[in-house]
Structure 1
Amino acid sequence: MKKSNFAILMAMVMASGPFAVDAYLPGIPTMAEFLGTGIDAVATTVSFYIFGMALGQLIGGPMADKFDKRNLIIIGLLLYAASSLVIATATSLAVIQIARVFQAIGGGFSIVCIAPLVRMRETGNEAAKLFSLIALIMVIAPAIAPTIGALILLVGNWQTIFYFTAAYSVFVALLVWRSLPKSPVTTQPAAVAVHKRYLEVMKNKTAMRYLAVQACGYSVMMVFVTNSSLIYQHHFGLSEQMFGLVFAANTLVNVAVNRLNSYLLNSIPASKLLQIAILIQAVFVAALIVLTATDAPVSVYVLGIMGAVGMLGAIPPNSNSLFISQYSENTGAASALLGSAQFVAASLAGGLSTLMYNGTLWPPVLTMTALVVLSNLFLPRAASSKLQTA
């Protein structure tokens, strides 16, 4: 399978996550009205999804080492589709929250297979380039998802958005079934217990630091996503359609950073580029503190968000490749641990920011500040980032 076709297909699999998280964001106010609850309560469904994604990857990771990854991706996408239909027909917040967990578990089964499949094809900076290409294509999904959701709301309701996500996942499952070749399973004895696989993965201290860096960097974005409706619609009073356009503006920086990162990988190590991206993200989050304190208008505030979130064009591709390159075995378990860690961290960070909600922008901004500080503290020194196999 050609590298470009493989990257597109993997990006489409990964895009199921952004569609599940971002497409319904413009509809959160109407969901809250339909369910008879507050916007902040409906916003918790983002954290439920993120938690389920972590759980799905923890379960799916060892399965990816033992079974055909293509079949696991298809099973995950079909579970995702079924859960989307449950959400679309639900009439209570509790049912939606539970269904969101199962929807995310299905997504986790699929997404956890991507890094091992990349690891089978490339290593080092070449792996980072492939991750960067996947990320470039995949970034279209979170960019257009809120806009698609807003357009759907013009002709339908919030339930229609989840019918759309169900149809999308079934379509991608069919593409995977037709296009992705079966993958060989690990030669490691299947008798190795799941917890021993994870313990073996966790012995690599350098990899664990990259895991923490990615978890914190990704959580910065998810704190914004969780609070995006509160920020742009409730605080700044933007319409559903304008919300979709402003949300999509994050892609401009994301794509530019992604392409620049891919180009620089030809001459600069991924570890150095990761360090630079995290520092720049910290600068933009510091700017958000100033903008919040001065009650800046949305036209300026969106620039700070674009910079902080846009750095995700470089952080995951580099940290993911540096992390997975530490392993030659147990890549499924390693990928699961990385994915689950970032989603658990994002779930906790997003949930904490909504729990602290007080009608101002300070809870999400202060949460993002703590995360970028931790990212810089966890970042390994370049000298200690050499390949270690486990």
Structure 2
Amino acid sequence: MALPFSLLLLLASLAGLTPLAIDMYLPSLPAIARDLDVPVSQAQLTISVFLAGFALGQLLYGPLADSVGRKPVMLGGLGLFTLASIGCAFANSIETLMAFRLLQAIGGAAGSVVLNALLRDMFERDMFARIMSMVILVMTLAPLVAPIVGGYLLLVGHWHSIFVLLAIIGALVSVALALRIPETLKPEHRQPFRLWPVLQNYGRVLRHRAALGYIGCGAMTTAAMFAFISGSPLVYIELYDVPAEHYGLLFAMNIVLMMVLTFGNSRLVPRLGSDRLLKAGLTTAALAAVVLLFCGFTGFGGLWALVPAVMVLIAQISLVGANSMAGLLSHFPEAAGTASALAGTTRFGLGAVATFAVNASHAVSALPMTLVMSLCAWLALASYWLLVRPALAAAGRK
């Protein structure tokens, strides 16, 4: 079953809202701190708050998507995202900004859950991984341009204008998806929204060894990315004196390599299978982490040694993200929304922990960021070897 390009663009727009909401305001964090008269580390906590809200939202949306359908959940979440973005635009204190960022994240969480479940309704495992790679390939345009747009909005306006733009984008995506996206969950496959069955479904996933491994692979790799997102404004702008408007260009270099690997993944999945590509991505990330931590600990090579190591590690999310999700959902096709929600909650929950760990040190140093990123990459690989690999061996697969 082919996916029409217009539908691909809409799904990518849905997936792109979260990276837009995270990445577009990264260059403005020092400006937000100055404007609201708080330390930069406190402004960075708005990232942790967003990730925590995103994690909590997915726990709710997953069972709802399996109960009332994909489309109502998607549109309700987008409405909340849009309204909360307006609230962020008018925030005049760090507490108000954090509160609306929390609501913005809870609304945006619907898109991630619905996207995974919707595609799982339409495609089998390896085709899911291939289509997801195509969606991610188009979606990566969002984090590619978001920091650049945010940096230049600061030159011509104020940081509040970034959230005005996010509200406009959220409203446009809501209208387009309402008109174009069909309901994919058949009535006979809907599960009543009752607390005990929901907890049972979560328990089934948590008791499944391979599922835990797939969740761990995706979550720890994503946590490494969020450690970078949280720490890079301080490291690049404050430590290495990169201008805010140029920060987005360095950030975009990561996304370009991600796009290359995403395209390659979509082509290689039919030939190699999602599990082999997952292992390749995890191994590469773990090796890049060795170089990254060395650079962070010694300062060797400065910015231009740090950037390539970051690029290689972050780019592996293209392989790990789609293939770990394909592996997870292949075990729970009848509860794709719930399984996807649990995976998403774990990813963004650990992402919040990673950003908090990076921000716990107030030193202007690359070491906190590189240390957290490296630990996450190594734990992701450990999840594969300790949990996924034994399950594959038992099933007679490599």
1:381 positional shift: 4.5
1:21 correspondence with 2:38: no
Partner residue, 2:93: 92
1:253 positional shift: 1.1
1:199 correspondence with 2:209: no
Taking the aligned partners of 2:14 and 2:191, their CA distance within structure 1 comes to 27
1:384 correspondence with 2:388: no
- Answer 1 or 2: which has greater helix percent: 2
Taking the aligned partners of 1:248 and 1:369, their CA distance within structure 2 comes to 21
Partner residue, 1:60: 61
Taking the aligned partners of 2:388 and 2:111, their CA distance within structure 1 comes to 32
Residues 335-374 of structure 1 correspond to what in structure 2 (within 5 A)? 335-374=340-379
Cα distance per residue 1:83-123 (max 9 Å; x no partner): 11111111110111111111000001222111111111112
Q: Could you tell me the percent identity over the aligned residues?
A: 26
Q: Which moved more, 1:372-381 or 1:128-137?
A: 372-381
Code of the residue aligned with 1:242 in structure 2: it is: H
Cα distance per residue 1:165-222 (max 9 Å; x no partner): 0100110000110100123353434445322221233232211110011000111111
Q: Is the 8 A contact 2:16 2:142 kept in 1?
A: yes
Partner residue, 2:111: 110
Q: Is the 8 A contact 1:53 1:105 kept in 2?
A: yes
Code of the residue aligned with 1:220 in structure 2: it is: A
Taking the aligned partners of 2:123 and 2:207, their CA distance within structure 1 comes to 23
Selected match of 1:188 from 188, 191, 194 = 191
1:285 correspondence with 2:286: no
Partner residue, 1:77: 78
- Give 3-state SS (helix, strand or coil) of 1:15's partner: helix
Q: Is the 8 A contact 2:114 2:337 kept in 1?
A: yes
Q: Is the 8 A contact 2:235 2:364 kept in 1?
A: no
Selected match of 1:268 from 262, 272, 284 = 272
TM-score by length of 2: 0.93
Partner residue, 2:12: 11
Q: Is the 8 A contact 1:272 1:382 kept in 2?
A: no
1:50 correspondence with 2:57: no
- Give 3-state SS (helix, strand or coil) of 1:183's partner: coil
Taking the aligned partners of 2:389 and 2:365, their CA distance within structure 1 comes to 39
Query: What is the aligned length?
Result: 387
Code of the residue aligned with 1:64 in structure 2: it is: A
Q: Is the 8 A contact 1:357 1:363 kept in 2?
A: no
1:331 correspondence with 2:325: no
Q: Is the 8 A contact 1:236 1:298 kept in 2?
A: yes
Partner residue, 2:241: 237
Q: Which moved more, 1:286-295 or 1:77-86?
A: 286-295
Code of the residue aligned with 1:128 in structure 2: it is: A
Cα distance per residue 1:358-388 (max 9 Å; x no partner): 221111111112111211111044562489x
Code of the residue aligned with 2:356 in structure 1: it is: G
Taking the aligned partners of 1:374 and 1:300, their CA distance within structure 2 comes to 23
1:210 correspondence with 2:217: no
Taking the aligned partners of 2:380 and 2:183, their CA distance within structure 1 comes to 37
- Structure 1 residues 66, 187: CA separation in 2 closer, same or farther (over 3 Å shift)? closer
1:7 positional shift: 2.6
1:35 correspondence with 2:36: yes
Taking the aligned partners of 1:285 and 1:199, their CA distance within structure 2 comes to 33
- Structure 1 residues 122, 244: CA separation in 2 closer, same or farther (over 3 Å shift)? same
1:148 correspondence with 2:149: yes
1:316 positional shift: 0.3
Q: Is the 8 A contact 1:201 1:330 kept in 2?
A: no
Taking the aligned partners of 1:64 and 1:294, their CA distance within structure 2 comes to 47
Residues 112-127 of structure 1 correspond to what in structure 2 (within 5 A)? 112-127=113-128
TM-score by length of 1: 0.95
Code of the residue aligned with 2:278 in structure 1: it is: L
Partner residue, 2:260: 256
Code of the residue aligned with 2:49 in structure 1: it is: F
Selected match of 1:306 from 308, 311, 326 = 311
Taking the aligned partners of 1:27 and 1:348, their CA distance within structure 2 comes to 22
Which sections of structure 1, spanning at least 5 residues, go unmatched? none
Taking the aligned partners of 1:342 and 1:10, their CA distance within structure 2 comes to 20
Taking the aligned partners of 2:192 and 2:267, their CA distance within structure 1 comes to 40
Q: Which moved more, 1:43-52 or 1:251-260?
A: 251-260
Code of the residue aligned with 1:362 in structure 2: it is: L
Code of the residue aligned with 1:344 in structure 2: it is: G
